[in-house]
Amino acid sequence: MLLVLQLAPAQAQTALLRGSVRSQEGLPLPGAAIQLVALQRGTVADTAGTYSLSVPAGDSISLRYSYLGYRARTVRLLLQPGEQRELHIQLAARTDELRTVEVTSDQGGQREEAGLTRIDPIDAVHIPTAFGDFSDILQTLPGVMSNNELSSAYAVRGGNFDENLVYVNGIPIYRPFLSRAGQQEGLSFVNPQMVQSIRFSAGGWQPKWGDKLSSVLDITYKQPDSIATSLTASLLGGNLETEGSTGGGKFTWVASARHKSARYLLGTLETEGEYLPRFSDIQAFLTFTPSQRHQFNLLLSYARNRYEVAPQTRETNFGTLQQAFRLTVGFEGQELLRYDTYQNAVKWSSRWSERFRTEWILSWLNTRERELADVEGAYFLCNVDKNTSSATFDQCQTILGLGTNYLNIRNSLKAQVYTLQNRSQWQWTDQHRLEWGLELSQEQMQDRLQEWEFIDSAGYISIRDTRLIDNGLSLSSQRLQAYVQNSSSWGGERHTLTYGLRSHYWTINEQLLFSPRLQYAYRPIWATDIVFSTAMGIYHQPPLYRELRTYLGEVNLAVRAQSALHLLAGADMNFLMWNRPFNLVGEGYYKKLWHVNAYDIENVRLRYFANNEARAWATGADFRISGEFIPGAESWFSLGVMSTREDILGDGRGYIRRPTDQRLNVGIFFQDHLPNDPSLRAYMRLLYGSGLPFGPPERPEYRSTFTAPAYQRVDIGLSKILDLRRHNMGIRSLWVGLEILNLLANQNVISYSWVSDFGGRQYAVPNTLSSRFFNVKLVAQFNKKAAL
């Protein structure tokens, strides 16, 4: 009794505060931080955006509500002892001051999806990168490998560039087929300024997403509620984006025109010459909503890419201080790559009731690509005097090898892919959701390869140094895909389970595939907001085009689908540090692969063995922490460790490193600003990837024997935002930036050229990427107008 009397006064001095934290649009903000300012403690909102907090009573208190990407709000309250009060808070999104990119894994309950990362691109133009491609953001995520700033291609957890699914509003997106070097690539399809949200899965995704081995990138384009325009210009290209809404929101649009001018950046490459790259695209995403039940979307895009170069000279120094070499090449001829790609789609979405909805999507791809080259290079190889006290310092001492290399290419490709798909969803109870879909595709490929190359080394030509490819492919096929999945939650949404099955049939190899998949997540009742998740499933990758071409360009239509088992488990935790919200994610994974179609990488070109005579595995762990390390500035740090091996059956070598075996991967995006002037900001992007394996060409016994140097790159940017709304100039703000790309001028290696000396000994000559480059960027945000 005495103990109860002693505790009663203490309990009477507190009160209970309940409520919710939502956006101005009424969407819940799960993981929002609620902090008692004076006491340095607080809580975070749950998946529904609701919270409950015991607070001091009888005196005025201050509470700070904050969420990543939204303006923090402070509220003062006075509660009476024992009082219970509800307080619902709305936070406004940051739009002017920060305009940055946020990486988090928490919105709308998506923390329960294993392997899923949500990326909210408020405005990606501020990240210091060469061309502003969206893949530049993905490179800072753990498990994502992209050791080429000239390319938008990326590999995930030991996979290759062809193993990634990309969707825009449920519409499948394709990459060009013929590019063999990063400088030949045009703009990636995704324009970050048109994007509303992105979800990225590095493995273990649900059955509703398609059949690939490595990752899914699910992009949603904007549906704006006001009219706005932005213009971006830099030394490397420009972008015009416009968006708007009419008819009370019944019709919305977002459209863009981009141009990529890589000429100045390519001038920093080792090979000197006349570069004429011209890459442009236009996109539009239109939405018509005639009623609350129905919505129509139209996606239109056209990409025009021209790459022309007339190489002249190249000088490469390699080796060590004790044994230094120099390769000098003189070129004659030119290369030309051109392709025109149309990717369009119509989507009809219907909400027949509060529980049942459907989507019908008709999409089509039409691409024409042409690759032409007629280049001859005469080279000589020598060793170099590195004795600083010598009169011949840094000069050639002995000519080790002479030769010529001739390359003639006449390749062309025409491809059409037509896809009709249905996606349906039935929320049969509040805790159970059933989804199913059907997809039918018609593919037509017409391909002609004509390549002739020979190497005349030391005055003779051998058959082994001569390569001739002359064949064609005309392929017409159909694919049928289907899926069904069910999602359930129980225990107050502390348990979430998603399971289902996907099937795939291709008429060429007549292979019927089944992919069972399962995800489970558990949110314990702890003071710490944490979610544990796990996933497992079978994933297949049926061949499309590249996988049918052998290492020498021949066609093998008997290639079957590659298969993999995904196993992963991880945890996602929200917490407060320095009185600000942070997110920490860790995940371990294991992939077992069979019927593997082995390949080698030359720059960004994949050369498949076009058989299923290999097996492989990949295992590793990814970690990422994100939050406001500097108040009001979102940053993140990523770390990935991995090992992946393959065994080509019958070659007697056993398991060796796969071409994308990057054992350590680090990605950092960090930003800062002046304490009293957040409009003056600094940005840094740091990438580190350990060396990849390589070996001499046409020597399978030495495949993946050597290790290339690590990829190291630091990009920094400085910017100033000028608020021009008071001057009635029609411009809302002007963003002025200076970027230094590859700050440390690292000579990163992308591939190797092999040359022979007079004794027949081969030398691996590194081909390096771009050097340090200064870029100036301007972004003008024009005044917004109300919807028409």
pLDDT in tens, 610-625: 999 999 999 999 999 9
Q: What's the average model confidence in pLDDT over 426-450?
A: 92
Looking at residue 599, its pLDDT comes to 92
Looking at residue 15, its pLDDT comes to 83
Give the integer Cα–Cα distance in Å for 608 and 154: 17
Q: What's the average model confidence in pLDDT over 75-84?
A: 80
User: Which has the higher per-residue pLDDT, 287 or 402?
Assistant: 287
Q: Residue holding tokens 């006449």?
A: 410
Give the integer Cα–Cα distance in Å for 265 and 288: 41
**pLDDT band at residue 7 using 50, 70 and 90 as cut-offs:** very low
Coil, helix or strand at residue 23:
strand
Kindly state the tokens that stand for 162: 């062809």
Is pLDDT at 168 greater than 70 in this prediction? Answer: yes
78-92, 274-288, 523-537, 563-577: range with lowest mean pLDDT = 78-92
Type and span of the H or E element at 8: helix 2-12
Looking at residue 667, its pLDDT comes to 93
388-408 as b/e, with b when 16 or more CB fall inside 10 Å? Answer: eeeeeeeebeeebbbbbbbbb
Q: Residue holding tokens 């390359």?
A: 407
Domains of the chain: 2-91 (2.60.40.10), 101-786 (2.40.170.20)
Looking at residue 4, its pLDDT comes to 38
Looking at residue 39, its pLDDT comes to 63
Q: What is the pTM of this model?
A: 0.82
Is pLDDT at 706 greater than 60 in this prediction? Answer: yes
User: Which has the higher per-residue pLDDT, 592 or 116?
Assistant: 592
Looking at residue 756, its pLDDT comes to 81
- Dmax of the chain from CA atoms? 106
Q: Are strands 84-91 and 14-23 parallel, antiparallel or unpaired?
A: parallel
**pLDDT band at residue 786 using 50, 70 and 90 as cut-offs:** low
**pLDDT band at residue 103 using 50, 70 and 90 as cut-offs:** very low
Contact of 171 with 363, CB cutoff 8 Å: yes
Q: What is the mean pLDDT of the chain?
A: 85
123-132, 169-178, 551-560: range with lowest mean pLDDT = 123-132
Q: Which of 196, 197, 189 is nearest to 166 (CA)?
A: 189
Within 10 angstroms of residue 126's Cβ, the number of other Cβ atoms is: 23
Give the integer Cα–Cα distance in Å for 630 and 125: 20
Give the integer Cα–Cα distance in Å for 416 and 174: 11
Give the integer Cα–Cα distance in Å for 414 and 341: 10
Looking at residue 787, its pLDDT comes to 58
Looking at residue 94, its pLDDT comes to 64
Q: What's the average model confidence in pLDDT over 604-608?
A: 86
Q: Which of 471, 181, 123, 125 is nearest to 305 (CA)?
A: 181
Q: Which of 312, 364, 309, 310 is nearest to 338 (CA)?
A: 309
Looking at residue 8, its pLDDT comes to 39
Strand order in the sheet with 195-201: 101-104, 116-121, 195-201, 215-221, 164-168, 171-172
Looking at residue 464, its pLDDT comes to 40
pLDDT in tens, 289-340: 998 899 999 999 999 988 888 888 999 999 888 889 999 999 999 988 888 9
**pLDDT band at residue 191 using 50, 70 and 90 as cut-offs:** confident
Phi and psi at residue 737, in whole multiples of 5°? -135, 150
**pLDDT band at residue 500 using 50, 70 and 90 as cut-offs:** very high
Q: What's the average model confidence in pLDDT over 733-757?
A: 88
Looking at residue 123, its pLDDT comes to 46
Kindly state the tokens that stand for 234: 């830099």
**pLDDT band at residue 54 using 50, 70 and 90 as cut-offs:** confident
**pLDDT band at residue 38 using 50, 70 and 90 as cut-offs:** low
**pLDDT band at residue 506 using 50, 70 and 90 as cut-offs:** very high
Looking at residue 85, its pLDDT comes to 84
Looking at residue 418, its pLDDT comes to 96
Where would I find the H helices in 53-138? 135-138
Q: What's the average model confidence in pLDDT over 218-230?
A: 86
Looking at residue 662, its pLDDT comes to 95
Q: What's the average model confidence in pLDDT over 192-212?
A: 89
Is pLDDT at 546 greater than 90 in this prediction? Answer: no
**pLDDT band at residue 203 using 50, 70 and 90 as cut-offs:** very high
Q: Which of 218, 222, 197, 198 is nearest to 208 (CA)?
A: 218
302-306, 411-415, 551-555, 644-648 — which one is most confidently predicted on average? 644-648
Give the integer Cα–Cα distance in Å for 66 and 35: 8
Give the integer Cα–Cα distance in Å for 685 and 690: 17
User: Which has the higher per-residue pLDDT, 283 or 464?
Assistant: 283
258-267, 382-391, 466-475, 501-510 — which one is most confidently predicted on average? 501-510
